[in-house]
Amino acid sequence: MTSPSLIVGLMSGTSLDGIDAALVEVDQSGFPHLRNALYSAYPDELRQTLLGLHQTQPNELHTAALVGNLLAHRYADAVIKLLAQCGTAPGSVRAIGCHGQTVRHNPGEAYTLQLGNPALLAELTGITVVADFRNRDIAAGGQGAPLVPACHDALFRHPTKHRAILNIGGIANVTDLAPGMPTRGFDCGPGNMLMDAWIQRHLGQAYDAAGDWAGTGLVMPALLEKLQAQPFFTQVPPKSCGREEFNLAWLDQAMTGSEKPADVQATLVALTAVMAARAISAWCGKVDEVYVCGGGSHNRTLMRLLAAELAPAQLMTTDALGLAGDWVEAVAFAWLADLTLNGLPGNLPEVTGATGPRILGAIYRA
């Protein structure tokens, strides 16, 4: 038992859209309660620079270091605004749990890279920072991802109902909460990442609001079948993925060039929905309820397809369980930071494939 802690969780995911900041109170039992939250969008220039760092380029180490410093300033600004928004003094916050911005994820070659300069973040805020959560799990033979299923277990497990939590950010991942069974989880494929990239290319928009553009198109069965042939989909969990597997170049090679852009968008929505539903069926079995979180929960076209694919399981968002889907991952990294500070492991070997439980993250004391 520990005293209640105030922790700020910071999450900036593979969608590269911005920063989710959550002020979380972790009570004496270790349960996280969201107290306040805000979102800070990335400017387009930063987003394009981060996209560029996913590929080899000249002087990339220098660029990555500068971007890490810039991200630290943006993280600090988000923290300061969040605390001011709710009248909380920085001195009352135990720590910041900062995921950092992933630019490379290659567990097959035993590395993952998140930018953010946590040492600078600690200096700018005067608050202890816990960061670099993924590498300890990878060092222990794991995928380093997904890490949020452990928090999903704490937040959403039910004693008798078989639930699955489907997080749809840039990448989609599933947490299996079967009553009486260990928590399992894995990445199941692209979430919003390809849809965002496609609409950016054709309409200059960062994302397809509510899935309205996809709703004007028709799913192309032949293209969908080609995309479903990606080897990642048939891999057995534990598994994780990123832009290395799913990107516009991969999409382009599957097309003839004569496709209508809206039809491609509709097909990408179908890819996310169908492969998530297949993954749940294949690896989770018969579930009673599926709860969606992440940006994909706002895509009405995607949610309609998911409901059809997952029937008869009930489809809802985590809002129905008391936590808005936009903030689940930021809450999770606050919760993981609290575990680290208390000397407790944060990974689930059944999820990541690590050889055992590990205390995650590096601590940068204020």
pLDDT digits (tens, 9 = 90+) for 6-44: 999 999 999 999 999 999 999 999 999 999 999 999 999
Q: How confident is the prediction for the chain on average, in pLDDT?
A: 97
Report residue 274 CA to chain centroid gap.
19
Q: Is pLDDT at 281 greater than 80 in this prediction?
A: yes
**CA of 237: how far to CAs of 142, 185, 232, 360, in Å?**
11, 8, 10, 21
Same domain, 300 and 163: yes
Same domain, 93 and 163: no
- pLDDT for 1 equals 44
What CATH number is given to the structural domain containing 40? Answer: 3.30.420.40
Same domain, 137 and 161: no
Helix (H) / strand (E) element for 18: namely strand 18-26
Q: Is pLDDT at 49 greater than 90 in this prediction?
A: yes
What single string gives the DSSP state of each residue in 304-342? HHHHHHHTTSEEEEGGGGTS-GGGHHHHHHHHHHHHHHT
Same domain, 17 and 125: yes
What's the average model confidence in pLDDT over 97-109?
A: 96
The half-sphere exposure of 49 on its side-chain side, counting CA atoms within 13 A, is 19
Same domain, 359 and 311: no
Query: Residues in the chain, how many?
Result: 366
pLDDT above 70 coverage of the chain, percent: 99
Same domain, 96 and 64: yes
Over residues 168-227, the pLDDT tens digits come to 999 999 999 999 999 999 999 999 999 999 999 999 999 999 999 999 999 999 999 999
Same domain, 135 and 160: no
Same domain, 251 and 344: no
Same domain, 171 and 246: yes
Over residues 139-159, the pLDDT tens digits come to 999 999 999 999 999 999 999
Backbone torsions φ then ψ of 365, nearest 5 degrees? -70, 140
| Containing structural domain, residue 168 | 149-321
Same domain, 182 and 78: no
Spatial contact of 175 and 152, defined as CB atoms under 8 Å apart: yes
pLDDT band for position 2 (cuts 50, 70, 90): low
- pLDDT for 127 equals 98
Same domain, 204 and 174: yes
Number of domains in the chain: 2
Same domain, 166 and 315: yes
Exposed/middle/buried for residue 87 (C-beta within 10 Å: 0-12, 13-18, 19+): exposed
